C-alpha cells in the first residue's frame, strides 16, 4: 500500500525529555513537511525538506529538530527547549512545485506528563 | 502578508440543508487553492485543487468554485457523514512551495 505512516499515534513526554516522532512514506515524493495543529488554530509549519540531506526552518522551528537522511523518512525531534509541546503533529509529503498537492499522514498526538 | 481566512468558523446544518463554506485569500499570483477534509483525530484528506478563476470541481455532494478573491465549497443535501472540519490552503506569494492554511470550518450535520 502506498502512503504515509506516522508513529506512534500517541506519545507522552516527561519534562526535560527529548522525544522523536516518526514519519515514513513510500509515495516517492521529494518534499516532506512537519506541521503542528492546536485547537482553533490553522496548521503551522515547523520544518520542511525539499530534498535528501537538506531542510529548512518553518514558522515555528524553535524547540524542534529534524533530519532527512533518506528520501522515505523525515523524523521530528521535540526537544526539552519546546516548553509547550502538547499538540497534534502532522507530517505531509508532496511532489516538487508550488502547484503540487500535499498529502498528510494520520498524525501523532503528543501529551506532556 | 499572505492570509487565508475561512468562514464561518462553525456551521450546523440539518440533513438535506444545503449551504456553502467560504475561503478568502490575499495571496498574490495565486498558484492553486486546495481544499481538505479533516475528521477528528486524523490527518487532513485531500479533496480538490483549483488553479484558475472560474474553475469548478465536484465530488459527490461537494462542489468547489474559485474566483480571483475567494473560493466556495458548496455542500448539497448534506448527510451526517459529511460532518468534519474543512480546511483550505494556498501556496505563499513568491514561488514558495509552502501553503498557508486557513483555520478551518467545523461542519456538523444533524440527522
Q: How far apart are CA A14 and CA A38, in angstroms?
A: 20
Are A97 and B97 spatial neighbours (Cβ–Cβ below 8 Å)? yes
pLDDT bucket at A2, cuts 50 / 70 / 90: low
Helix (H) or strand (E) holding B84: strand B84-91
**Whole-number pLDDT of residue B41:** 94
Q: Under 8 Å CB-to-CB from B45, ≥6 apart: which residues?
A: A104, B36, B37, B38, B39
Locate A108 and state its grid cell.
501523532
pLDDT bucket at A98, cuts 50 / 70 / 90: low
- Summary mean pLDDT of chain A: 92
> B91 CB near a chain A CB, below 8 Å?
yes
Q: Please list every residue in chain B whose beta carbon sits closer than 8 Å to the beta carbon of residue A60.
A: none
Q: How far apart are CA A96 and CA A75, in angstroms?
A: 19
A interface with B, Cβ–Cβ < 8 A, is 4, 6, 31, 33, 40-43, 45, 48, 50, 58, 88, 90, 94, 96-107, 109
Buried b (16+ CB within 10 A) or exposed e, B37-66: bbeeeebbeebbbbeeeeeeeeeeebbbbb
Could you tell me the CA-to-CA distances from A103 to A37, B35, B90, B96 in Å, in that order? 15, 11, 14, 17
Are A52 and A68 spatial neighbours (Cβ–Cβ below 8 Å)? yes
Long-range contacts of A53-58 (CB under 8 A, 24+ apart): A58/A33, A58/A34, A58/B98
For residue B96, pLDDT beyond 70: no
**Whole-number pLDDT of residue B30:** 73
Are B95 and A98 spatial neighbours (Cβ–Cβ below 8 Å)? yes
Looking at per-residue pLDDT, the higher value among B1 and A82 belongs to A82
For residue A66, pLDDT beyond 90: yes
- Summary mean pLDDT of chain B: 92
> B4 CB near a chain A CB, below 8 Å?
yes
In this structure, of A56-60, A98-102, B38-42, the range with the lowest mean pLDDT score is A98-102
Locate B105 and state its grid cell.
470550518
Looking at per-residue pLDDT, the higher value among B38 and B68 belongs to B38
Buried b (16+ CB within 10 A) or exposed e, B84-102: bbbbbbbbbeeeebbbbbb
Distance (Å) from the C-alpha of residue A35 to the closest C-alpha of chain B?
11
- Mean pLDDT over A46-67 rounds to 95
Amino acid at each position: 500500500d502506498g502512503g504515509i505512516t506516522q508513529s506512534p499515534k500517541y506519545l507522552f513526554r516527561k519534562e526535560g525529555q527529548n522525544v522523536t516522532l516518526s514519519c515514513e512514506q513510500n509515495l516517492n515524493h521529494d518534499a516532506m513537511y512537519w506541521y503542528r495543529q492546536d485547537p482553533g488554530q490553522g496548521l503551522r509549519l515547523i520544518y520542511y525538506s525539499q530534498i535528501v540531506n537538506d531542510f529548512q526552518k518553518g514558522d515555528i522551528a524553535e524547540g524542534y529538530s529534524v533530519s532527512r537522511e533518506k528520501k522515505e523518512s523525515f523524523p521530528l525531534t521535540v526537544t526539552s527547549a519546546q516548553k509547550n509541546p502538547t499538540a497534534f503533529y502532522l507530517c505531509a509529503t508532496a511532489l516538487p512545485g508550488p502547484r503540487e498537492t500535499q498529502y498528510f499522514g494520520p498524525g501523532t498526538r503528543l501529551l506532556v506528563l | 502578508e499572505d492570509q487565508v481566512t475561512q468562514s464561518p468558523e462553525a456551521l450546523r446544518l440539518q440533513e438535506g440543508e444545503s449551504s456553502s463554506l467560504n475561503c478568502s485569500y490575499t495571496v498574490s499570483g495565486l498558484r492553486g487553492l486546495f481544499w481538505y477534509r479533516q475528521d477528528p483525530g486524523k490527518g487532513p484528506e485531500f479533496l480538490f485543487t483549483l488553479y484558475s478563476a472560474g474553475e469548478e470541481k465536484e465530488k459527490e455532494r461537494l462542489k468547489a468554485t474559485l474566483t480571483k478573491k475567494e473560493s466556495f465549497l458548496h455542500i448539497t443535501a448534506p448527510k451526517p457523514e459529511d460532518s468534519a472540519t474543512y480546511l483550505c490552503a494556498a501556496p505563499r506569494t513568491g514561488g514558495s512551495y509552502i501553503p498557508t492554511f486557513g483555520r478551518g470550518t467545523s461542519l456538523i450535520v444533524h440527522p
